[in-house]
Structure 1
C-alpha cells in the first residue's frame, strides 16, 4: 500500500494490543490518520462550537429558514452532482449493520445491492469492535473472510460478482476516539473510521471495480459537508487516487440539515452519491432542537409515522432535491426482524411492504433494510416500480413545494403520551443501553433490529414529556424501577446500576445531553493500555 510523508504526525495508540491489530494499526496507516487529524481537527472543533451556537440561537427564538446567502445555489438549475460511480448506479435495496465478521458475511450474502458497514449507530465503539470491523472489511476485500458459529458451522461470502457494493458509515463529528491520540488530543472518531478504511481498502476497492464509498451521518449544515469534501480531496491526494473517486451519501437526519439539502449536495457535488432519509435520528433532532417548545411536543413514537405531514414534507423535499441534481434518493430503515411465528412474520412483512411501496411511489431510488430476510420484499417492491431501470432519477417531482412551515408543522401530530408509550420508551432505552455497554450496537428488541438512534429518541421523548409536565416524574420513576427489575431478571449479567445511572443522566436531567454516547463511551468503553495492565 502507498505510504504518506515522513512519519511526523503518527497517531499514538493508547489501547492494549489485540489479535491482528498490527495489520490495521500499521505505522503508515497511523501516520495517515494522524495527518488528517492534524490538518482538519481544528476545523472540526470550530464546527462543533458552531453547532452549540446555532442550538442556542434556535432555543432563543431565531427562526429556522432556508439560508438566504445560498439562494443563488438553490436557484441555479445548471449544476448537478457527479454521475453514479461504479457499483452505485442501482441501489434499489441496501442492507445496513455493524461490520463484525458475522454481519459482514451475512450482508455480503444477502442479495442486496449495497451494504452500509456501520461504525456509527450500529456499533458500540469498544476498541476491539472498531479495529475488528476494519479487519473484517479488509478480509472481505482480500477474500479471506469467514465466520464460524459456536455450533461449528462455517460461512463464507459468495463470489465477488454477487456481493453488494460496500459503503462505510464512520462515526459522527461529535465523537472522539480515546484510544488514538494525536498531538496530545483524542483523534476525531470520524477520521479514525474513514482514515483506516480509506488507507487499507480504497485502492483495493478500485482494483475490484468499485471504490471507497461512504455514508456521512448527522451533518447539521453545509459547512460540515464542505469539511468532508476537503478531507476527501486531501486523502485522495495523499494516496495518489484520482480526484472524485470517493463517493458519499449524506444522511439527512437533523432538522437543520433538512433546510440545507441542496447546499450539502453542492458542497459534495464531485463526491456526492445522494441523500438518505432517516427516521428516528430525525425525530431525535427535532426534539433536541425544539423540545423546549410546546408546539413541538410529540406523542408516542409508535404513533409518529412517516405519513405525518412534517415527515412527508421532509421526504418529498429530499426526493425532489436529489433528482433535480441527478443524485440518488435513498429511503429509510425497515427494522423488522423476521419471526418464526407465521402470523407475526406475515404482519411484519406487510408493514415493510407498505413502507417501501410508499417510498418507491414517492420517487425514492432505493431503501434500507436491517435484516437479510427483508431484502426480497424490498427488492420486489422496487422491481415493480423500476422494472429494468436502475433508478428513477428522471422523476423530477416538480409538483413538490415545501416551505419552512411545512417542515416544522409538528403540532399537526398531536396526542398525549400513553402509559404504554412511557413504558415502551423506558424499556427499550434500558435494554439497548445494556446491549451497548456489553459491546453490541445492533440488537433485536420486540421484533425490531434497534440501534443507537432508537435509544436516543426513546430517552429524549421521556425528557420532553417531563419538561412539559405531560408525564409526572413519579410515574416515570415508578416505571423505571419496574423496568430495571425486569431487565435484571432478563439479563442477570447486566450492570443495572450503570444502566440506570446512564438513563437518569440522559433522560431525567434538567439540561438535555446532545447524545448519550460520548458520556457512556468515556465512562464504560474506554480501556487504555495502562488500565489493563
Structure 2
C-alpha cells in the first residue's frame, strides 16, 4: 500500500486539566495505522474529535453490554433458554406506539443490493437499478485498515456524485445511472475493534477504538448534511444486536450525533438485522427503543443460523444441525422466525426486509445461472407472499428476478405494511425447534464446510470479505456456520449418514487432504487460514467470532 507521511494529518493535541491533586486528560484518538492517499480527508481533526466524544460518552456502556452477552451465553450453556421478557410485556401489549418508519428515499425498498465498499463494487451497486445499496463495512468487508478508510472515501465520493475508478488494466468505471439507490451503511458490530485507532480516556487509559463507533462516526460526520441536502439522509443497518438494551445504546448515540451535528432529532434512520436468537425474542422491544429512528427490521438468515449453533452448541442432540444445505428458509424454526418478524414489523409501522439467498449467477455457465435464478425466484416469491416489503440480492444480475416477484405482489405500492398478519402467533418453542429439521450429516457436508471455511478465511485475510465460492456468495456469516458446525459435530460425537463418527482425528485428516488439494498462488494466505480454522473449529475452546482473533493476529 502506498503511504504518505503521518504528518499529513494533524493529530488532536492531548491536553490536561488540573483538578485538585489530579490531572485529567482530554479524551482523544491516536492514529497508529499507516496513512494512504486522501486519508486526511476522512481522518480530520474534527472527525476524530467527534469519534473521541462518542467513545467518552458511550464506550463504557458498550463494554457493559458485551459483558452481558457473556453472561447470556453462560446461561444458555447451563440450560436456560431465551424467553420473551416478562419485564417488557407492557411494551408488547401497548398497541399505541409505532416507529418513525421510512425516511426520504426509503419509501420503496423492494430490492436492495448488498456489497462491500471498494470503489468498483460500489459503482456496480450504484448502477444496478436496485432501490437501496447496503454499503457494507461489516460481514462483506475484511476490516483491513485500507478497506476501512478507503471504504469511507468511496462513500464520501458517492454521496457527492464524484465516484470513479480505473482498474489496473486501465478500464474506467463511472456512475452512469440516472437514479441511484439510496445508501444505507452497515457499520461493524459491537464486538469488533479498530486497532489502528487508539482511544485515550480521561484517566489516560488506552484501548482500541470501537469498530462500530469509528464506522458510524466517520460516515455520519462527513456525509449527513450532504445526504439530507440531496433528499436522502444518514441511514444505517445495525448488525449483531442481541438485546433491546443494545438498541437503546444505538438510539442514544443517534440522538447525541443529531444534536452534535445539528441535523434534527429523528433524521437518522436505522434498520436492525435480526440475526441472533436473542434478538428474535426482543423484536418489539428493539423497535420500541429505536422508535424515533427506526425504519424496519431485516431477516439476517445466515448469522441467525450461526447464532443458534453458537448459543446451543453444547446442549446435545436437540440442537445439532444437519448439513448446511438442508437448513432452508422453509424449515419450521426459520418459518417461525420470519413470520414473527413480518408480523412484528407491520403492527408497528416498520418495514420487513428479507434476507439474501446465497445463489449467484455465473456468466460463463448458463446452467449455473439458470439454477441460481430459479432458486432466487422461489426465495423472493416466498418472501413477497409472506408479507416482506423488500429483499436483498448480492449480484446485479439477480435484481430483475427479485424485483419481478415483489412487483407481482406489490404492484405500484411501495410496501405492504397494511398486512399486519394478526393471525400469526409464534411461541418460544417454535423459535427453538431445531430438532424438527431432521436431515442428515453427510461426509460431503463435512468436507464442504472445511473447503468453504478455508477458502473464505484465506480470502478474508487477503482483504476480500465477499467471495464467490462454488457459485455461492460467501461472507463472514457463512464461514462462521461452516466452522461452528464442524465444532458442534465433533463435540457431540455426531455420526455421518455413511456411518463415520465425526471426531477430531478424522476431521484433521480431512482438513489435511483438503489443504493439500488447494490451488496455491504466490502470496496466498492459506497457511494463516489453516491456523485460523484450527483455532476456530478444532480446539476445545469455542471462539465467539472467528474474525476477532484473526483480526488481532493477521490483519
- Same fold, TM exceeding 0.5? yes
Kept in 1, the 8 Å contact 2:326–2:439? The answer is: no
1:518 matches 2:543: no
Match of 2:537 in 1: 507
Kept in 2, the 8 Å contact 1:336–1:371? The answer is: no
* TM-score between the two structures when normalised by the length of structure 2: 0.92
Match of 1:530 in 2: none
Match of 2:19 in 1: none
- Cα distance 1:6–1:203, how it changes in 2: closer, same or farther (>3 A)? farther
Instruction: Kindly tell me the number of residue pairs found equivalent between the two proteins.
Output: 520
Structure 2: runs of 5 or more not aligned = 1-11, 16-25, 201-205, 495-501
Kept in 2, the 8 Å contact 1:114–1:164? The answer is: yes
C-alpha distance in structure 2 between counterparts of 1:15 and 1:502, whole Å = 23
Q: 1:83, CA displacement in angstroms?
A: 3.2
Q: Give the secondary-structure state (helix, strand or coil) at the position aligned to 2:272.
A: strand
1:95 matches 2:113: yes
C-alpha distance in structure 1 between counterparts of 2:193 and 2:169, whole Å = 37
Match of 2:161 in 1: 143
Kept in 1, the 8 Å contact 2:327–2:437? The answer is: yes
C-alpha distance in structure 1 between counterparts of 2:416 and 2:13, whole Å = 44
Match of 1:375 in 2: 399
Kept in 2, the 8 Å contact 1:10–1:32? The answer is: no
Q: 1:492, CA displacement in angstroms?
A: 4.6
Deviations 1:95-154 (A, max 9, x none): 001011011100000000000011110010000000000000001111211122333221
Match of 1:256 in 2: 278
The structure showing larger relative contact order (alpha-carbon pairs under 8 Å, at least 6 residues apart) is: 1
Kept in 1, the 8 Å contact 2:536–2:542? The answer is: yes
1:271 matches 2:288: no
1:409 matches 2:468: no
Q: Give the secondary-structure state (helix, strand or coil) at the position aligned to 1:74.
A: helix
1:129 matches 2:147: yes
Counterparts of 1:23-172 in structure 2, within 5 Å, are 23-159=41-177, 162-172=179-189
C-alpha distance in structure 1 between counterparts of 2:65 and 2:266, whole Å = 24
Deviations 1:357-396 (A, max 9, x none): 0000000000000011111111111001000000000001
Kept in 2, the 8 Å contact 1:108–1:164? The answer is: yes
* TM-score between the two structures when normalised by the length of structure 1: 0.96
Match of 1:529 in 2: none
Match of 2:328 among 283, 298, 305: 305
Q: 1:5, CA displacement in angstroms?
A: 13
Q: 1:480, CA displacement in angstroms?
A: 0.2
Match of 1:280 in 2: 302
Deviations 1:509-530 (A, max 9, x none): 11211001110001011xxxxx
Match of 2:23 in 1: none
Match of 1:360 in 2: 384
Structure 1: runs of 5 or more not aligned = 526-533
C-alpha distance in structure 1 between counterparts of 2:13 and 2:376, whole Å = 50
Match of 1:200 among 222, 225, 234: 222
Match of 1:394 in 2: 418
Deviations 1:405-458 (A, max 9, x none): 000000001233100100000000000011011011011100012110011000
C-alpha distance in structure 2 between counterparts of 1:202 and 1:182, whole Å = 24
1:322 matches 2:345: yes
C-alpha distance in structure 2 between counterparts of 1:83 and 1:262, whole Å = 14
Match of 1:20 among 21, 33, 38: 38
Counterparts of 1:466-481 in structure 2, within 5 Å, are 466-470=490-494, 471-481=502-512
Comparing 235-244 with 336-345, greater Cα deviation is found at: 336-345
Match of 1:486 in 2: 517
Counterparts of 1:423-434 in structure 2, within 5 Å, are 423-434=447-458
Kept in 1, the 8 Å contact 2:353–2:391? The answer is: yes
Kept in 2, the 8 Å contact 1:10–1:27? The answer is: no
Q: Give the secondary-structure state (helix, strand or coil) at the position aligned to 1:329.
A: strand
C-alpha distance in structure 2 between counterparts of 1:64 and 1:410, whole Å = 14
C-alpha distance in structure 2 between counterparts of 1:163 and 1:14, whole Å = 36
C-alpha distance in structure 2 between counterparts of 1:154 and 1:272, whole Å = 38
Q: Give the secondary-structure state (helix, strand or coil) at the position aligned to 1:186.
A: strand
Match of 1:296 among 312, 319, 332: 319
Q: 1:490, CA displacement in angstroms?
A: 4.2
- Cα distance 1:63–1:495, how it changes in 2: closer, same or farther (>3 A)? closer
C-alpha distance in structure 1 between counterparts of 2:149 and 2:464, whole Å = 15
C-alpha distance in structure 2 between counterparts of 1:36 and 1:150, whole Å = 38
